Amino acid sequence: PVIREWMDRAAAAADFDLLHLLFYDREENLQKTRWQQPATFVMEHAMARYFTTLGIRPVAMAGHSLGELTALCIAGVYSPEDGFRIVNKRALCMDKAAGMHMDPGVMAAVDIPLDLLKEMIQGRNDVHIGNINSPNQIVLSGNTDAVKNLGKKLKEMGYRCTLLRVSMAFHSPVMKVIHDELEAFIASIPFHSPKIPVISNTTMAPYPSDPDEIRRILMAHLESTVYWMNNVQTLRKDYGVRLFVEVGPGDVLSDLIADTLPESACIQTCLPSAEGLTYKTALAKLFVQGSLKVQGEPRFISLPAFRKASEPHPVAQAPASRPSELGLVGSNPVERIIQREINRFVMETFGRFLKPNILEAVRQELNPAFQEGDLSSVIKSMLGDSGLLEDQKQVSPGESASPPLDLISAIPEQALPPPGEASEHQDIMERLIRIIMDATGFNREEIQPDMDLRRDLSIRSSRLPVIMDAAEHQFGITIELEDFIDVRTVRTSPRGSPR
C-alpha cells in the first residue's frame, strides 16, 4: 500500500499514463530514455519511501547518475511531485537532444587503468570519461567513431571495451544543448537544504545547504563525470558506512561497491528474477544487521506445508490422490489419459525451456529451497512412472546423443561441427566453462552447463563483460551486449557473429 500510494502521487503529477507505462506497456518502451528515467525514478522513490516508513534511516546517500536525483528527493531537497517533474523534464530534454544530433554519441565500459586512459585521451575533445565506477570499470562517453576506434585500440592492448545500451553520450559536453532549457525549468522549483547527506557525483562532496548552489551542482551533473567510486569511498571514510543498500532494480551498484570496497556488505532490494523475494530478503537482512527495528520480540514460525530443510529435496506435501492423477483434470478416465499424454508431450518437447521458469516460480511463491530434484519428482508423478522427462529421452542404438538445441549457442553457426559430433560440442562447452572458471575462480567440478550464472554460481553482473570479452577472443566472434545481458546459463549464451 505504501509503494502504491507514492506511485499514485507521481501518477497524479504526470501528463501521461504513468501506471500504464510501469505495469502494462511494452518492454522496449521502458528501454527508451524518454520513459525509462521517469519510470525508474518512481519505482526507486516509492521503494525508498517504504523503507523510511519502517524506520530505516540512512546515515548518508549517493545515487548513480539519475539515482542522485532520487536521493535528493528522499533527502527533502524537493517534493516528490517536483522530483518527478524534474526527472520527466530531464528525460524529455535528453530525448530531444538525441534527435538533434547527427551523431548522439555512444558510451563504452573499459577496464584500462585510469591514469593510462587519461594520458591516451589528453587534449581530445571527442572522447571523455563519463563514469569512474570502480577500480575495474571506467565508462567512455563521446563521438561514436572516436569511442569505437579507441575501444578497438584498447582491445588490441589487451583491455576490455563493451558498448553500452544508451541513446547518447551522457555525462559529456554533448549534453550542453539541453542545459539552458532544464536550468530554466528548475529555477522556479523550491529547493531546500538536505535533511540527509547526499554525496554528489560531480563534486565528490556532500550537497551544500544553499538552494542556489544545489541547483548549480545539479546542472553541472548533466555534462560532468560521475565519480561513483569516489562517492563509495567517501561514504566509507567520512560516514563510516559498512552496509550499503541498493534501492532499485538490479545489482550493478552492489557489484561496483564490492569491487571498490571488497570488505563491505551490500543488500539488493529488487532482482528481476525474484522481485518480491529479494525485497523480503532485504528486510530480513536489515533486521539481522540491526537496521530494522520491530515491536516486541521476533517469533519463530513453522512451515507445515514443507518438510524440514535438513531433509533431502524438501517437497510440498501432495494431495491424497493417486500419483498418476496429480495435475490431471476431469473424473473420466479417458480425459485423464488425454491430459496426461498432453502433459508428457509438452514436457518432452519444451521441458528444457519450461523447467527453469517453473522452478523459479515455485521458489518465489512456495519454497525458496525447492530444488531441481524436487521438480523432477513432481513431474514424474504427474506423468506417471513411465513418463519420459526431458533429461531422460532415449536414444536409439547407434544414434549419437545430440545436445539440446540451445547448447553452446554463443558460437556462430559456421563454427559449429556437423550435427551428431557430440564430442566436438562437448569440447566447445568445456572451453566456455574454462572461461567462466578463469573469470570467477570456480573449480571445474563446481560448474555444470545448466547452472544459473547468477543464482547458482553467484556471478556478479560486473563479471559478465569479462566472460563476454574472453569468449569473443576465444572463438573469434563479436557478441552484442544487448544479446548477452539476459544470459542465464552456459547453454543459453547468446549467439555471436564472426569477426
What cell was used for 187?
529555477
Looking at domain 413-498, its CATH class is mainly alpha
67-97: b (≥16 Cβ within 10 Å) or e: bbbbbbbbbebbebebbbbbbbbbbbbbbeb
pTM above 0.85, yes or no: no
Most confident by average pLDDT, 17-26, 318-327, 486-495 = 17-26
Choice among 19-33, 95-109, 319-333 with the minimum mean pLDDT: 319-333
Q: In what order do the strands lie in the sheet with 161-163?
A: 127-134, 137-142, 106-110, 161-163
Question: Strands, DSSP E only, in 152-307?
Answer: 161-163, 198-199, 243-246, 265-268
| Close Cβ partners of 149 (under 8 Å, ≥ 6 residues apart) | none
DSSP letter at 163 equals E
Cβ-contact 440, 433 below 8 angstroms: no
Q: Please write the tens of the pLDDT for every residue from 157-209.
A: 999 999 998 889 999 998 998 999 999 999 999 999 999 999 999 999 999 99
Residue 215 pLDDT greater than 80, yes or no? yes
CA distance 310 to 352: 28
Question: Which residue in the list 64, 171, 221, 425 is annotated as catalytic?
Answer: 171
CA proximity to 415, closest of 400, 427, 398: 427
Residue 422 pLDDT greater than 70, yes or no? no
Domain with CATH 3.40.366.10 in the chain: 1-102+176-194+211-216
Looking at domain 1-102+176-194+211-216, its CATH class is alpha beta
pLDDT computed for residue 38 by the predictor? 96
Residue 321 pLDDT greater than 50, yes or no? no
Residue 301 pLDDT greater than 80, yes or no? no
Question: Which residue in the list 65, 264, 377, 461 is annotated as catalytic?
Answer: 65
Read off the pLDDT of each residue in 337-361 and give the average, rounded to a whole number: 73
Domain with CATH 1.10.1200.10 in the chain: 413-498
Task: Tell me, yes or no, if 65 is annotated catalytic.
Answer: yes
pLDDT computed for residue 424 by the predictor? 64
Cβ-contact 235, 201 below 8 angstroms: no
pLDDT computed for residue 73 by the predictor? 98
Q: What percent of the chain has pLDDT over 70?
A: 77
Question: Strands, DSSP E only, in 135-177?
Answer: 137-142, 161-163
User: Mean pLDDT in the chain?
Assistant: 81
Residue 388 pLDDT greater than 80, yes or no? no
Task: Tell me, yes or no, if 188 is annotated catalytic.
Answer: no
Q: Which residue has the cell 531441481?
A: 372
Q: Please write the tens of the pLDDT for every residue from 14-25.
A: 999 999 999 988
